């Protein structure tokens, strides 16, 4: 089973390396390691040299991370996480170094701002029915478990190691049986809220032309990804919640009923990665390569935010910007405008979730 453990860690390391490798090409064309540059700079000799050094650095740290994961994994359970942490820190340092090299080439972004004179799409991702289904599925699971309460064993497994050994138990009680469903409902509600708020409280970078259409598709895709995450989470939680009714699943090797959610998550992660790589930040990779807009040729547009509002290239802080969400400069998706007080409430809520899990006894 160590081989399986190693294979899984190796897969995660490879996935991180792949994302890190492709990331410079996934951002908006005039943003280079979170610095606004002329659109021709990344493909020029200096731009290529910076990308080459960055990629060498992340490759070295991927190898070191994997080695650490193997060594630490033999010493203590969960030691593999140390290797992944090493790789992630190495990746971030590589980004910071590349950003420092890119900064001398920075140019002022356009001061033009544009808005489409059409009201935004106001619906939720997938519509209200698709947003309500996950809650209905959780409620149905809860009702079914309630109906078969006496069939539930007094003590049952809720988490397994890769070698098939159980490493977490729960008991037949409200917290043990319904706790995961309640937490899942809270997380699904948060994701639905995020999917509702993100298009409403973020700036549309482009208002017209093929870039605006690509951005619309990107926004729809982000909403779809959030909705799919809700469904996956509900499926995994409902599946795990119903497992105690399927008899004793203690004996190794790993039961196929237990391994199904693991495969589902792996397939989901691969699919999401593929979608995001295909889209690029703000749908920038959806555009035809030769569809250069006049404004893009003259003054860099980037994401219409100022470089000095990005701390370390990843934290956005602009009190003058009413947007709560802003496109990440290095990555695909959105980040918070930390100058807005609501952003800190969201950060607090995310940090409180593990505390809620612990209170419900799921962290033991």
Partner 1 sequence: MLVLQIDLASTVPAYEQIASRLRALLVDEKVVAGQQLPTVRELALDLGVHHNTVAEAYRQLAAEGWVDLRRGRGATVLARRLPAPTRKAHARFTQALEELIARGVAEGLPRGGVAAELEQRALKLRNGARE
- Strand, coil or helix: 160: strand
Shortest approach of partner 1 to residue 319 CB, angstroms? 10
Shortest approach of partner 1 to residue 120 CB, angstroms? 6
| Closer CB to partner 1, 176 or 199, in the complex | 199
282 closest CA partner among 324, 318, 326, 312: 326
| CA–CA dist 349, 187 (Å, integer) | 10
Shortest approach of partner 1 to residue 342 CB, angstroms? 13
Shortest approach of partner 1 to residue 322 CB, angstroms? 5
| Closer CB to partner 1, 98 or 323, in the complex | 323
- 341, HSE (Cβ side, Cα atoms, 13 Å): 0
* Residues sharing a CB contact under 8 Å with residue 71, sequence separation 6 or more, in sequence order: 79
Chain residues that interact with partner 1, rule: CB under 8 A: 111-120, 201-204, 207-208, 212, 304-305, 320-323
Shortest approach of partner 1 to residue 112 CB, angstroms? 5
| Closer CB to partner 1, 193 or 266, in the complex | 193
Q: How is residue 150 annotated by DSSP?
A: G
| Closer CB to partner 1, 122 or 150, in the complex | 122
Q: How is residue 197 annotated by DSSP?
A: H
Rg (CA), the chain: 23
CA distances from 345 to 1, 185, 328, 352, 364 (A): 42, 19, 19, 10, 27
| Closer CB to partner 1, 111 or 150, in the complex | 111
Shortest approach of partner 1 to residue 105 CB, angstroms? 21
**Angle of CA points 229, 234, 237, to nearest 5°:** 120
* Helix (H), strand (E) at residue 327: strand 325-327
Name the residue with tokens 């409430």: 345
Shortest approach of partner 1 to residue 301 CB, angstroms? 12
Shortest approach of partner 1 to residue 215 CB, angstroms? 11
| Closer CB to partner 1, 304 or 329, in the complex | 304
Shortest approach of partner 1 to residue 190 CB, angstroms? 22
| Closer CB to partner 1, 3 or 112, in the complex | 112
| Closer CB to partner 1, 202 or 229, in the complex | 202
| CA–CA dist 305, 273 (Å, integer) | 26
284 closest CA partner among 318, 325, 331, 321: 331
| Closer CB to partner 1, 53 or 217, in the complex | 217
* Residues sharing a CB contact under 8 Å with residue 354, sequence separation 6 or more, in sequence order: 363
CA distances from 181 to 143, 171, 208 (A): 11, 15, 44
Per-residue burial over 323-351, b = 16 or more CB atoms within 10 Å of its CB, e = otherwise: bbbbbbbbbbbbbbbbbbeebeebeeeee
| CA–CA dist 272, 19 (Å, integer) | 12
């Amino acid at each position: 089973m160590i081989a399986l453990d190693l294979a899984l860690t190796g897969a995660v390391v490879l996935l991180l390396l792949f994302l890190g490798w492709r990331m410079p090409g996934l951002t908006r064309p005039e943003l280079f390691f979170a610095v606004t540059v002329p659109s021709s700079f990344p493909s020029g000799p200096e731009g290529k040299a910076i990308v080459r050094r960055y990629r060498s650095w992340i490759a070295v740290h991927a190898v070191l991370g994997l080695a650490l994961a193997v060594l630490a994994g033999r010493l203590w359970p969960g030691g593999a996480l140390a290797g992944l942490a090493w790789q992630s820190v190495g990746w971030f340092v590589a980004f910071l170094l590349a950003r420092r090299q890119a900064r001398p080439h920075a140019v002022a972004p356009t001061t033009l701002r544009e808005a489409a004179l059409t009201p935004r799409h106001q619906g939720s991702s997938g519509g209200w029915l698709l947003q309500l289904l996950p809650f209905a599925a959780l409620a149905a699971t809860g009702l079914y478990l309630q109906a078969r309460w006496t069939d539930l064993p007094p003590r049952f497994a809720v988490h397994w190691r890769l070698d098939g050994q159980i490493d977490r138990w729960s008991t037949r009680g409200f917290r043990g049986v319904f706790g995961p469903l309640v937490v899942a409902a809270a997380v699904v509600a948060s994701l639905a809220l995020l999917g509702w708020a993100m298009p409403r409280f973020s700036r549309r970078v482009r208002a017209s032309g093929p870039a605006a259409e690509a951005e619309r598709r990107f926004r729809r895709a982000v909403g779809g990804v959030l909705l799919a995450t809700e469904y996956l989470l509900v499926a995994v939680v409902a599946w795990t919640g119903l497992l105690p009714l399927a008899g004793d699943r203690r004996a190794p090797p790993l039961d196929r009923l237990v391994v199904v959610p693991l495969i589902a998550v792996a397939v989901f992660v691969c699919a999401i990665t593929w979608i995001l790589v295909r889209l690029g930040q703000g749908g920038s990779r959806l555009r035809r390569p030769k569809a250069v807009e006049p404004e893009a040729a003259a003054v860099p547009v980037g994401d219409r935010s100022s470089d000095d509002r990005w701390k370390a290239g990843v934290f956005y802080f602009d009190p003058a910007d009413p947007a709560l969400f802003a496109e990440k400069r290095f990555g695909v998706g959105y980040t918070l405008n930390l100058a807005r007080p609501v952003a800190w409430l969201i950060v607090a809520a995310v940090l409180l979730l593990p505390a809620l899990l612990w209170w419900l006894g799921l962290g033991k």
